[in-house]
Amino acid sequence: MSWSKLKQQLESFLSPALIGKFEYRATSYRYLPDKPGQCYIAVDKKNVLNMNDATTSIRWYQSDLEIKNDPAIEIAISEEEIEAIRQDTKGLVPEDRLVVIARGRKMTVLAKEILSAQTSLSKSNFTAAATKFLASSIEESLESKDIILNILALVDRRVGKKRIQNMRESVKMKHPSVQYFYELRLSTV
């Protein structure tokens, strides 16, 4: 599918509150086949998410240690997870350390997912993700681990005010770019 047709379809699903404020942009290099194009998501005419550049205004992580030490990422630990660690350690670990261990394990998994998602952002991946978004349900896109699918779903008109407000806890464990677009959408609801 050509970029102009894809862009037109994506913009047809854009939330009415974001029309004129949010736009998709792309560049490509016709005479340099070895140089990939770039995709941008712009808010108020400012490139906010550049798919190939780690110097955007959204925080990008260079290592899993940065993710683990980021105070902005909040991890909810359930009783089942604590009980599983209690079973693994055969009750030898003090109760206060069980939460620390559970959080550490969950942060390691989250760090790997975030770094994996960050490395896959490029124009070809954006067009593939956008095509997948157009072919799948909004629920699949919201629950996906793919940053682009999450962003496209958050700015979609099919996601209503109540659903946006109910997503607050689940978005805290997502990449900062997803959190940025969640806050943008929340501010327009």
- What pLDDT was estimated at residue 55? 47
pLDDT, residue 32, reads 57
Q: Where in the chain are the domains? A: 1-189
pLDDT of 185 reads 92
Which pLDDT score, from 0 to 100, does residue 162 have? 92
pLDDT of amino acid 85: 87
Q: For the chain, how big is the Rg over CA atoms in Å?
A: 19
CA 21 to CA 31: how far, in whole Å?
A: 32
Residue 176: per-residue pLDDT: 83
Nearest one of 7, 1, 18, 60 to 156, comparing CA atoms: 18
Which 8-state DSSP code applies to residue 42?
E
- For residue 42, give both structure tokens: 């712009």
From first to last of the 189 residues of the chain, give the pLDDT tens digit.
787 888 899 999 999 999 989 988 877 666 655 555 667 788 888 878 776 544 455 566 777 777 788 877 777 888 898 888 888 888 888 888 888 888 888 888 888 877 776 666 655 577 788 889 999 999 999 998 888 899 999 999 999 989 999 998 888 888 888 888 999 999 887
Nearest C-alpha neighbor of 63 from the set 124, 5, 114, 138: 114
Helix spans in the chain (H): 3-12, 64-68, 79-88, 95-119, 123-135, 138-143, 147-154, 161-166, 168-171, 176-188
The predicted pLDDT at position 105 comes to 87
Q: What single-letter DSSP state applies at residue 16? A: G
Note the pLDDT of residue 119. Answer: 65
**Exposed, middle or buried, 35 (CB in 10 Å: 0-12/13-18/19+)?**
exposed
Closest CA to 113 of 171, 172, 174: 174
Give the phi and the psi of residue 156 in degrees, each rounded to 5: -80, 140
Alpha-carbon torsion, ordered 90, 94, 98, 100, to 10 deg? -140
Q: pTM value?
A: 0.69
